[in-house]
Amino acid sequence: MKNILKELIDGKISISDAEDKLKIMQIQEMGSHVKFDTMREIRVGVPEAIYSQGKTDEDLINIINNIDFTKHLMITRLPEERFNRIKYQLNKNVLKNGTYYKEACILTINKTTPKEKKGTVGIITAGTADVPIAEEARITIEQAGYKTIPTYDVGVAGIHRLIDKITYLIDKKTDIIITIAGMEGALPSVVAGIVDIPVVAVPTSTGYGVGEKGFTALFAMLQSCAPGIATMNIDNGYGAGIYSVTILNQIEKRIKDMTEQ
């Protein structure tokens, strides 16, 4: 981008030429229906991700092998069976720099190790069935360089398990807490009624009867009497991770601005 702007200032290219070049930088076309946003990580500060569901194996392999991302890439919702089916068709460099997380169903590909940043997110699940969604959030946050402190299976069915874990997260100067629960979805209301830090709620499709598919948990989290909870969509651990990263990025920017003044 700097080189293009320098060429423009030096009069080597016209304004329209510069505009065309900048547009090309931002979009990488791979076939007639794949247009990858190569500048997302630089522009909005979150790791680029490819959502696997709905894509054919052929399209997914083509994207992963040919994508020109900046530093870090995530392939989400990639079950182990499907990863094993396509991994031998991926480029050697992809496999060399890639790590597959079975529980989170995520493949990460890093050209460089994610830079460590100041900021910590606590992740709490109500039960062990919610752990895959929590792991999706954890990997997303750690890909952005922030620290996570997971504590799983501490839901309100045995609320004594939860209190000491919340105390521990507060003692560790946790900046945000992600709460993940299915069934009746009470966990974020309890946590948000105790702590003075942002709480992100993720309903999961864990449950049966009226709780099936996660809608009861979603409605409960949206209707919580504890104010200020940010509620994600059902099973959206990635969304919770990105929301947390966005908050931490803004905190980091403000601290940097204050330091430079």
pLDDT higher at 132 or 18: 132
Average pLDDT estimate for 219-248: 95
pLDDT tens for each residue of 152-190? 999 898 888 898 899 999 999 999 999 999 999 999 999
> Residue 32 pLDDT more than 60?
no
Whether the pLDDT of residue 4 is over 90: the answer is no
Report how far apart, in Å, the C-alpha atoms of 118 and of each of 144, 200, 254, 255, 261 are: 11, 19, 13, 11, 20
* Choice between 258 and 133, residue whose per-residue pLDDT is larger: 133
Residue 128 has pLDDT above 60, yes or no: yes
Residue 36's pLDDT band (cuts 50, 70, 90) = low
Residue 46, pLDDT score: 80
Share of the chain above pLDDT 90, in %: 57
Rounded to an integer, what distance in angstroms lies between the CA atom of residue 105 and that of residue 125? 17
- Residue 85 belongs to what H/E stretch? helix 80-86
Structure tokens at 144: 């952005």
pTM for the model: 0.84
The structural domains of the chain, with segments of one domain joined by +, span 45-113, 120-252
Average pLDDT of 126-142? 96
Residue 227 CA, chain-centre distance (Å), reads: 24
pLDDT category at 25 given cuts 50, 70, 90 is: low
The pair of three-digit structure tokens given for residue 185, joined into one six-digit string: 């979805």
What pLDDT is stored for residue 76 in this prediction?
A: 96
pLDDT score recorded for residue 167: 92
The domain made up of 120-252 is a member of CATH 3.40.50.720: no
- Predicted pLDDT of residue 207: 87
pLDDT digits (tens, 9 = 90+) for 100-125: 999 999 999 988 888 889 999 999 99
Given this model, what pLDDT does residue 235 score? Answer: 97
Q: Which residue has the tokens 């105790």?
A: 194
- Mean pLDDT for the chain overall: 88
Backbone phi, then psi, for 86, in 5-degree steps?
-105, -15
Chain segment 38-87, per-residue pLDDT in tens: 667 767 778 788 899 989 999 899 888 887 776 788 999 999 999 999 99
- pLDDT, average across residues 20-33: 63
